[in-house]
């Protein structure tokens, strides 16, 4: 008899699932008076802080855009998919957003790794993807006509750093310390390609496993090679551990440089990050609140009102990505993916992140800034024409108060 019961439970389950499905469908029909844009970002997992920055950036942008009437006469609605900081989930996000939510355009993801993983999926589904923050250059090397990138890439990070070094003491030797991920490897690769031409020899090349409590042996190894420059590619958590432990092992390069990211977030120079160990570190930034582009300080104010803290450039990039998406939708006068992609190629928009115009490959040629932490604040020190102040030489740990 028990056998008879089981299929009946099963059928009830199926019925329930169907009902839920129908309810969801009804929901999505109700929402037809809004214009849906898909967002994939890391709301949970190890990169959740950056995902949250994205979300806050989008929130500021959508408030402004909807106040101005949204797009094509509809209010914009963002449909978020949390990729849990995992590439496979980012790919699932594309399927879910396109097949179930029917969004014509997607923004995301946060990390290079996740963004790279999404590209085959958006290409197959013929949906344009705007990448706000993926700096690894391999995200632009797939040849896909559906990808657009707002931020400057790892090649830009390396060349901005080298340009700064050439004009500020021209050091001869460098160690690269990077996390063993797409982001870290891409930045290390760009530096290895570009440094020799500037007369900088790479004397040490250290990949590391991220999220470890102990990097002292790694830093000892770097110290033994005595590089004049150390170039870090790390997320915040590791950036803090690396700087604290640099002091512990007495690693004293003349320049501590970095590929932004962990060394360029608002918390890093504060007590919530490396604090005083962040002092004198150089970083490449896509944007700072004091940037000269019109709207920067307004964004800073709106973001600070929303979150209680100043924005780092990741939030600005998300903000700019949504402005650009809205511009393209209005320009193409269509809710179809192909028309939006065509319009993206024609977009010319001045944003607080700087002018945005995609080249033939979908890359926005965004200029980078070199910043230095001085008195717990990021100060633009290069290029000279936009610098806020002069770079300060890095004293040895033992000579600091």
Partner 1 sequence: MEVKLWQAVQAILNGILTGALYSLIGMGMALIFGVMRIVNFAHGAFMMLGMYATWMLFERLHVNPYFGFLAAAAMLFVLGYATYQGLLRRIADRSDFMQILLTLGISLILTNGVQLIFGADYHQINFGLLDINVRLNSHVSLNLPWLLAFGITLVLGVGMFLVVMKSRLGRALRAIAQNRYAASLMGIDVMRIQALSFGMGLAAVGVAGGLLLPVFYLYPGAGDQFTLKAFVIVVLGGMGSIGGAAIAGVVLGIIENLTSLYWGNEWALVVDFIVFLLVLSLRPSGLFGSQRV
Is the Cβ of residue 15 or residue 224 nearer to partner 1 in the bound state? Answer: 224
Distance in Å, CB of 57 to partner 1, minimum = 16
Distance in Å, CB of 87 to partner 1, minimum = 16
The contact pattern for partner 1, residues 261-290, with x = CB under 8 A and - = no contact, is: ----------xxx-x---------------
Chosen residue from 138, 220, 334, 374 binding partner 1 by CB under 8 A: 220
The contact pattern for partner 1, residues 49-78, with x = CB under 8 A and - = no contact, is: x-xx--------------------------
Strand stretches in 120-194, DSSP E: 129-131, 147-149, 173-179
Q: What is the 3-state secondary structure (H, E, C) of 182-238?
A: HHHHHHHHHHHHHCHHHCCEEEEEEEECCCCCCCHHHHHHHHHHCCCEEEEECCHHH
Is the Cβ of residue 28 or residue 211 nearer to partner 1 in the bound state? Answer: 211
| Residue 133 in contact with partner 1, rule: CB under 8 A | no
| Residue 306 in contact with partner 1, rule: CB under 8 A | no
Tokens of 230: 């150390």
Contacts with 160 (C-beta within 8 Å, 6 or more apart), sequence order = 284, 368, 369, 370, 382
Chosen residue from 2, 23, 197, 214 binding partner 1 by CB under 8 A: 214
Is the Cβ of residue 145 or residue 275 nearer to partner 1 in the bound state? Answer: 275
Chosen residue from 221, 310, 361, 377 binding partner 1 by CB under 8 A: 221
Q: Which of 248, 271, 399, 273 is nearest to 258 (CA)?
A: 273
| Residue 343 in contact with partner 1, rule: CB under 8 A | no
Chosen residue from 28, 100, 211, 304 binding partner 1 by CB under 8 A: 211
- Is residue 54 within 8 A of residue 122, CB to CB? The reply is no
Q: Which residues of 64-94 are buried (b: 16+ CB within 10 A; e: fewer)?
A: bbbeeebbeebebbbbbbbbbbbbebbbbbb
Q: How far apart are CA 60 and CA 300, in angstroms?
A: 10
| Residue 207 in contact with partner 1, rule: CB under 8 A | yes
Distance in Å, CB of 222 to partner 1, minimum = 10
Q: Angle formed by the axes of helices 313-332 and 48-67, to 10°?
A: 40
| Residue 180 in contact with partner 1, rule: CB under 8 A | yes
Q: How far apart are CA 374 and CA 185, in angstroms?
A: 28
Tokens of 332: 């193409």
| Residue 100 in contact with partner 1, rule: CB under 8 A | no
Q: Return the C-alpha torsion angle 108, 236, 179, 112, nearest 10.
A: 10
| Residue 110 in contact with partner 1, rule: CB under 8 A | no
| Residue 46 in contact with partner 1, rule: CB under 8 A | yes
Binding segment for partner 1 among 235-243, 315-323, 327-335, 362-370 (CB under 8 A)? Answer: 235-243
Q: How far apart are CA 393 and CA 54, in angstroms?
A: 34
| Residue 169 in contact with partner 1, rule: CB under 8 A | no
Q: Which of 163, 228, 205, 175 is nearest to 394 (CA)?
A: 228
Q: How far apart are CA 247 and CA 396, in angstroms?
A: 9
| Residue 209 in contact with partner 1, rule: CB under 8 A | yes
Distance in Å, CB of 39 to partner 1, minimum = 16
Q: How far apart are CA 331 and CA 41, in angstroms?
A: 26
Chosen residue from 58, 157, 215, 313 binding partner 1 by CB under 8 A: 215
| Residue 173 in contact with partner 1, rule: CB under 8 A | no
Tokens of 86: 């995992």
Is the Cβ of residue 48 or residue 78 nearer to partner 1 in the bound state? Answer: 48
Residues in the chain: 401
Residues β-bridged to residue 147:
129
Q: For residue 81, what is the DSSP state?
A: E
| Contact set for partner 1, span 237-256 (CB under 8 A) | 237, 240-241, 244-245, 247-250
Is the Cβ of residue 156 or residue 253 nearer to partner 1 in the bound state? Answer: 253
Distance in Å, CB of 302 to partner 1, minimum = 21
Chosen residue from 74, 125, 126, 216 binding partner 1 by CB under 8 A: 216
Residues in the site for partner 1, rule: CB under 8 A? Answer: 43-46, 48-49, 51-52, 180, 206-209, 211-218, 220-221, 224, 236-237, 240-241, 244-245, 247-250, 271-273, 275
């Amino acid at each position: 008899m028990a056998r008879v019961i089981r299929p009946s439970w099963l059928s009830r389950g199926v019925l329930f699932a169907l009902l839920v499905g129908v309810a969801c469908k009804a929901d999505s029909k109700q929402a037809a008076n809004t214009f849906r844009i898909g967002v994939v970002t890391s709301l949970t997992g190890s990169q959740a802080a950056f995902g949250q920055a994205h979300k806050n950036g989008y929130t500021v942008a959508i408030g402004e855009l909807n106040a101005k009437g949204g797009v094509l006469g509809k209010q914009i609605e963002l449909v978020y998919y949390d990729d849990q900081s995992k590439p496979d989930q980012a790919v699932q996000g594309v399927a879910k957003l396109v097949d179930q939510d029917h969004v014509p355009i997607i923004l995301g993801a946060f990390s290079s790794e996740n963004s790279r993983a999404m590209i085959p999926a958006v290409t197959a589904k013929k949906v344009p993807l705007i990448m706000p923050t993926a700096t690894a250059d391999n995200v632009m090397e797939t040849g896909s006509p559906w990808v657009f990138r707002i931020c400057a890439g790892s090649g830009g990070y390396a060349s901005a750093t080298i340009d700064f070094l050439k004009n500020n003491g021209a050091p001869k030797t460098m160690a690269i310390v990077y996390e063993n991920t797409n982001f870290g490897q891409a930045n290390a690769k760009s530096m290895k390609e570009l440094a020799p031409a500037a007369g900088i020899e790479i004397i040490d090349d250290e990949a590391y496993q991220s999220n470890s409590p102990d990097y002292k042996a790694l830093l000892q190894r770097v110290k033994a090679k005595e590089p004049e420059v150390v170039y870090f590619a790390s997320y915040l958590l590791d950036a803090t551990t690396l700087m604290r432990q640099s002091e512990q092992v007495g690693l004293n390069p003349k320049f501590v440089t970095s590929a932004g990211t962990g060394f360029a977030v608002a918390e890093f120079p504060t007590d919530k990050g490396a604090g005083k160990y962040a002092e004198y570190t150089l970083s490449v930034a896509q944007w700072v609140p004091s940037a000269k582009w019109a709207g920067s300080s307004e964004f800073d104010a709106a973001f600070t009102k929303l979150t209680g803290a100043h924005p780092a450039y990741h939030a600005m990039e998300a903000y700019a990505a949504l402005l650009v998406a809205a511009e393209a939708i209005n320009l193409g006068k269509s809710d179809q993916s192909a028309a939006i992609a065509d319009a993206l190629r024609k977009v010319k928009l001045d944003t607080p992140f700087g002018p945005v115009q995609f080249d033939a490959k979908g890359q926005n040629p965004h200029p980078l800034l070199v910043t230095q932490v001085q008195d717990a604040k990021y100060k633009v020190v290069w290029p000279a024409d936009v610098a806020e102040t002069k770079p300060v030489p890095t004293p040895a740990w033992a000579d600091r108060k």
